[in-house]
Amino acid sequence: MNATAQEPRKPGGYLFEDQGELPAYTPTTDADIRKQAHIVNGGDASFACPKCHGTGRVTWGYVNIKSGPCFKCKATGKMTAQREKAQVAYKKGAATKAMNAEKFRNDHRAELAYMHKRIEKGSNYYYGFKVRLDAHGTLNDGVIDIIRKDMAKDAAFYAAKDAERNAAGGEVGVDRIDALFATATANGLKKPIFRTERLTIKRAPATGRNAGALYVTDRDLGGEYVGKIVNGKFEARREAKPDTLKLLCEIAADPLDAAVRYGRSTGTCCACGRELTDADSVAAGIGPICAGNFGL
């Protein structure tokens, strides 16, 4: 049999007598020394939680009083100096993060507005920036540079479009067109419309913000609104074709000719939009009643 199993253990549970007299453990590594110093200095010493007073639960409310576990001490009722210090540091860090986030948003209002605009247009790339912003409260300089470059590209693009729009707009001698609509209104037409081979002109609502203006739409663009004539000037939208102003000038110079050409090319009246069936009306390119209503 095994000799060790036969021998009885000495008092204290040691196999040999001198084992009970081994010296106390002395830490030798840096980690052990730091751990022992931490305990000696009270690092693990606990005390009653100041929020729940050692109960591990807190109550709140005045009428409907409720209770629940204390989150400060994790419902243990005890706190350590180390944990309390960590909580203070966390709150301070959270406050600093919130302050930095607010400053970042104030300093980058234009960039963030552009970011949200791109997200509204369906950009997943920019949505990734928003996720990062929500998580950290700020965006790094590299992301801000990307946003600013895209802003500059868009600004250049729209500047070019505005230049095209300004080139398409300009002064129009609309005295004869204004006279057409004044006559039609005086003759009882509530919503007078003047159609030409490509452009359609109609008066803006008298009660709207553009009262007195003439709206212009383009049939080649599916009847899309391309601008308005205000005080003798055509204010073109970006959608307006470059020759829109030229066509308006031609219409303004001879409204009757524009009406006749439309009627003869389409077989419909430029004013009421109905089909021309009478032989005289077909030959004239406009019905006699509509011609009288518009003073043509």
- Predicted local confidence at residue 34, as pLDDT: 60
- Predicted local confidence at residue 199, as pLDDT: 92
pLDDT class of 145 with cuts at 50, 70, 90: very high
Contact present, 118 and 111 (Cβ < 8 Å): no
79: helix, coil or strand? strand
What whole-number distance in Å separates Cα of residue 20 and Cα of residue 40?
26
What whole-number distance in Å separates Cα of residue 27 and Cα of residue 3?
35
Q: Is the pLDDT of residue 250 over 60?
A: yes
Mean pLDDT confidence for 136-153: 89
Q: Rounded to two decimals, what is the model's pTM?
A: 0.44
Residue type for position 130: K
228: helix, coil or strand? strand
Chain segment 210-249, per-residue pLDDT in tens: 888 889 999 888 889 998 888 778 888 888 888 888 888 8
Q: Is the pLDDT of residue 88 over 80?
A: no
Residue type for position 229: I
Chain segment 235-245, per-residue pLDDT in tens: 888 888 888 88
Q: Residue 34 is encoded by which pair of tokens?
A: 């730091």
Distance (Å) of CA 63 to CA 51, 58, 60, 108, 224:
21, 16, 9, 45, 63
Q: Select from 240, 214, 221 the least CA-distant residue to 162.
A: 240
Mean pLDDT confidence for 33-45: 54
- Predicted local confidence at residue 295, as pLDDT: 81
